[in-house]
Structure 1
């Protein structure tokens, strides 16, 4: 009987190895060798391990549990494509508050998938203690119970938000099931890095913005059109060098240049009345893209109201285009006593026309409907648009300041 079982296992193992070899030959014939020698050896090893596992299971005595199945291949997960929208999530933090991706819009963030029971995560935990102030915001998505994660965060003095993900469903949507792994998410909620694997890879994400650079006026270095575009270009180049099939987006994302006609649009205000930009011809318009879930946008709002009141007699109008639901925007208007129009875009349809997907972002449009200066990113930069351009001054293109590479 045992001889028959061994013969069956031997044949099965030979078939597995033959299938792997045929897979290799087929891809080579098509000119698409996706597996290097190391990967091929790993697959052969898995086939061999499967045979050993089956043999061990077949020898188990009655009433004895069979041996555990072989572990899945531990190669690096493929991860999400650069530039795609990060999958949304809804998870509780250590205080029981439900958090979503929208809560972290407005500044770059590192999403870290973590497990307190993971040895590599234990090695990473103390390294997250003293991240520089220029590091991206850190959001830890962790398995384990609330008490364990709270003790870990307190012990290592993390300046991070810890979200609890018991089922690991969010990690699956981010195409990872390993820990520690992570992504850099840009300020408008898009994937800005390849999937980082291991402590070193995650720490590299925290250093991506950690260098002297131009500040946008809100204390967030590198959150400028050229800074974000430069980082995206580097990430794309690294992905291509690694052999990943990356399709670059053709959507313009670095803002519109001064001197061109501002794209017209019609959107509803908070009373569902349609409002058209062209109706403001003859006035200077400060067009601001905002979001009620964006922290810097909330900070900017009172200053915008002050601008509207200060320049009310100068043929000047603040116009806000916001995302989010009407109730959240009405609450913002009420809290800050805003008297200028707040219009609602459903997704990013108007932002797309103005070639910027971040918030807060602003344009100054002159009386002729022409963009007077290049896009401004961040509160201080937006306010300086009004202070820096006099009424009737012709549109000029402002070259961006150089930033360190």
Structure 2
């Protein structure tokens, strides 16, 4: 289906819809709360969302023809019939599903290679306002604790060009694993972002955060859950 959102005066909208003969749904965001949650600065701004509620593509600016729309639509229309298999989302206390993915800098990364070190694993996208808002906090904590062994790994399904532009613009140098076929997102059952896993040195998930961190203190609080084991190992040696 198609859903539109506008902050415009209702009378003006009705006149336009009647004049053009349009019958699609228009949601009225009078207080701009939805615009703010989606970080809309310019219009038109279009999201293509699949049947699981996952954003698969985003377009800022106008489409010039129907072919461009159809090209984006293919990203949310499955090419193969859905399977009946049900994946179980990783839970606290479970081993974090392993994966190997190419990275934005042209290398590859394997999660299990980080065994022996605590890991913050963050699923995100540069188009996601909440992801962008919390990233400075994650970067600050990861850089401060890097000398103590903390690893910071992120996973994105986004277009490489957009990611590179964002990383260069913000001066970020953390590892971005590219999950172009969404296989890792599916194995971790990512329904919304940002989605962050705190994994201990044995590869066990000790905490999961869905949504953005508001400050570094919240991250440090979660980090304690994976740091205690690491500290303990160090004391035993």
Q: Same fold (TM over 0.5)?
A: yes
Identify the residue that residue 376 of structure 1 maps to in structure 2. Answer: 209
CA distance in 1, matches of 2:54, 2:96: 22
CA distance in 1, matches of 2:125, 2:222: 25
Quick one: which of 128, 146, 150 aligns to 2:28?
128
Residues 348 and 357 in structure 1, CA contact (< 8 A), matched pair in contact too: no
Identify the residue that residue 336 of structure 1 maps to in structure 2. Answer: 170
Identify the residue that residue 157 of structure 2 maps to in structure 1. Answer: 323
Residues 201 and 229 in structure 2, CA contact (< 8 A), matched pair in contact too: no
Residues 54 and 191 in structure 2, CA contact (< 8 A), matched pair in contact too: yes
Cα 1:376–1:249 change in 2 (3 A) is farther
Residues 29 and 35 in structure 2, CA contact (< 8 A), matched pair in contact too: no
Q: Does 1:273 align with 2:107?
A: yes
Residues 361 and 377 in structure 1, CA contact (< 8 A), matched pair in contact too: yes
Identify the residue that residue 189 of structure 1 maps to in structure 2. Answer: 55
Quick one: which of 353, 360, 368 aligns to 2:187?
353
Q: Does 1:387 align with 2:224?
A: no
Residues 302 and 336 in structure 1, CA contact (< 8 A), matched pair in contact too: no
Name segments (4+ residues, structure 1) moved above 6 Å: 119-122, 134-138
**Unpaired segments of 5 or more residues in structure 2?**
7-12, 57-81, 231-237
CA distance in 2, matches of 1:341, 1:129: 37
Residues 134 and 214 in structure 2, CA contact (< 8 A), matched pair in contact too: no
Larger radius of gyration: 1
Identify the residue that residue 74 of structure 2 maps to in structure 1. Answer: none
- C-alpha RMSD of the superposition: 4.2
CA distance in 2, matches of 1:309, 1:162: 36
Residues 199 and 205 in structure 2, CA contact (< 8 A), matched pair in contact too: yes
CA distance in 1, matches of 2:84, 2:214: 27
Residues 188 and 359 in structure 1, CA contact (< 8 A), matched pair in contact too: no
Equivalent pairs counted in the alignment come to 190
Higher strand share: 2
**Higher RCO (CA < 8 A, seq sep 6+):** 2
Identify the residue that residue 287 of structure 1 maps to in structure 2. Answer: 121
Q: TM-score, normalised by structure 2?
A: 0.63
Displacement of 1:381 after TM fit? 7.2
